Amino acid sequence: MVSHLNNLTDNEMRIRYRFGRDSIAYICNIVGDKLRRSTAKETALTVEQQVCIALRFYASGSFLQVIGDTMGYDKATVSRAVNDVTNALLDVKDNFIQWPKDINSKNRMKCGFHRQMNFPNVLGCIDCSFCQQKGVP
């Protein structure tokens, strides 16, 4: 795990990265093969460093330069890490994200959201954000 993470509580990690220590380790395990660099350079970022850079970017919505400045990396390094982690996550997305395929599944999903949250015609949410989508298959 990235050295500065050892000084953070799980709650502080959730605030900064939106994930706790175990979840970050799980993400690193899932995408590690795609992010591991075979290089003799000592400066190559570890999988954990790349994932934490990307998670910090996703969680904060800040600029690459700001993420780099606050975490001690060059803007280009942050950009490459965010791009690589994003692509690695996209490669495994179908293992974790599923959309209701048939009308019965869609109706069950809509009823569940309406019953629990009183939101009509909702098929899904991400990070507790509710966004209207038009033309969803």
Residue 129 phi, psi dihedral angles, 5° rounding: -100, 135
Tens digits of pLDDT across the chain (137 residues): 556 778 999 999 999 999 999 999 999 999 999 999 877 677 789 999 999 999 999 999 899 999 999 999 999 999 999 999 999 999 999 999 888 889 999 999 999 989 998 988 888 877 665 566 666 55
| pLDDT for the residue 37 | 82
Does one domain contain both 77 and 126?
no
Cα torsion 97, 103, 104, 110 to 10°: value is 70
The token pair at 131 is: 């966004």
Does one domain contain both 85 and 121?
no
| pLDDT for the residue 38 | 76
Which residues span the domain enclosing 20?
Answer: 3-95
| pLDDT for the residue 130 | 57
| pLDDT for the residue 125 | 76
Instruction: Please give the tally of structural domains in the chain.
Output: 2
d(CA 79, CA 86): 11
Report which secondary-structure segment, H or E, holds 22.
Answer: helix 21-35
| pLDDT for the residue 97 | 87
| pLDDT for the residue 131 | 60
Exposed (0-12), middle (13-18) or buried (19+): which is 136, by Cβ within 10 Å?
A: exposed
Query: How far from each other are the two terminal CA atoms of the chain, in whole angstroms?
Result: 40
Does one domain contain both 120 and 87?
no
Does one domain contain both 35 and 81?
yes
| pLDDT for the residue 132 | 65
